Amino acid sequence: MTGRDSSGFDLYTLSEEHQMLRESIRALAEAKIAPHAAAVDEEARFPQEALDALVAADMHAVHVPEEYGGNGADAVAAAIIVEEVARACASSSLIPAVNKLGSMPVILSGSEDLKRRYLTPLAQGRAMFSYCLSEPDAGSDAAGMKTRAVRDGDTWVLNGVKRWITNAGVSEYYTVMAVTDPDARSKGISAFVVEKSDEGVSFGAPEKKLGIKGSPTREVYFDNVRIPADRIIGEEGTGFATAMKTLDHTRITIGAQAIGIAQGALDYARGYVAERRQFGRPIGDFQGVQFMLADMAMKLEAARQLTYAAAARSERAHRGQKGQDLTFFGAAAKCFASDVAMEITTDAVQLLGGYGYTRDYPLERMMRDAKITQIYEGTNQIQRIVMARNLPQG
């Protein structure tokens, strides 16, 4: 059964253009990204091969609007790219995912000059964009941040620390949330664009992580960083609202990453059980294994459909259409897909038995990579709070 909504998006099937995009990015990921995935994880190094391949194919930041040199791709297309790259290498999928996360505040709230100044180099592949919200003492309670920005004539001076910043040290640009009015809590937070080259910007050592080891995660330090006043994103005091609107759109990207990781694990496990023989027959012939695969595929497809539905709502919201329940669907897609990814990758390891537990096979890496999708851009416990506060009308 298929249907089409008023914006032209299919409700139950992808368009021909989306299907062609999937084929294209899958071919690229399998040829240029997957061969390096194990080494990227083992060496905990940035996947430069993936960045080079994505930039060459113009798939590193497809969300950037055409007027700033980008593709102007819709949110479903952006999700498909992240999904297919994550199927090959979760660390590499954070290149397009975090480029969107970091630049979305500029797209949503930035001045025309700010958009042209920073989105164009991003679209051209000359820079990456990161997002600085969390702090050592402000994670789930992001409004409790302490990083300060003080106006000084035609400049702002930033001081503070941001933690868990994805691709820190590699990205050239950073969207930074900072307190401009300490007495106003969330309404006293503003957003700024900070450049890696700004005097006073420095980075901590890379975190030693369970998974996504190829994507550097570091603290970012701001020591009397003086930036021009026109680098503020939107009006003073609107930064927290912009940050939350950004997450409504980009949590869907994490849902896409999760289903990509899960798809890669299911594909590998399915091939393995068809070849692995015990008791004189392929283990895939046993009903217990078949039931595991069926449950994995069923939950994965449910997560995919929810994520695409959320992406379509993201696109409609970006076009100014109201009443699409984006906050609920964004949180639901991220929460459900990441829970499913953790379950599927764990079951895939189980299907390989002892082999699944070794680094000779990719499933232990996929299982480790899947875990973070339940944590970043808001833990799944926070997602459930978000959903409960934004239940859609029946």
Whole-number Å distance between alpha carbons of 260 and 40: 18
**CA–CA–CA angle 97, 201, 194 (5° rounding):** 50
Active site residue 377: yes
Q: Quote the CA–CA distance of 167 and 184 in Å, as a whole number.
A: 31
Instruction: Please give the Cα distance from 255 to 269 (Å, whole number).
Output: 21
Nearest to 106 by CA among 116, 91, 93: 116
User: Of 74, 81, 80, which Cα lies nearest the Cα of 59?
Assistant: 81
Catalytic residue among 83, 84, 135, 377: 377
Give catalytic residues, as residue numbers.
Answer: 377
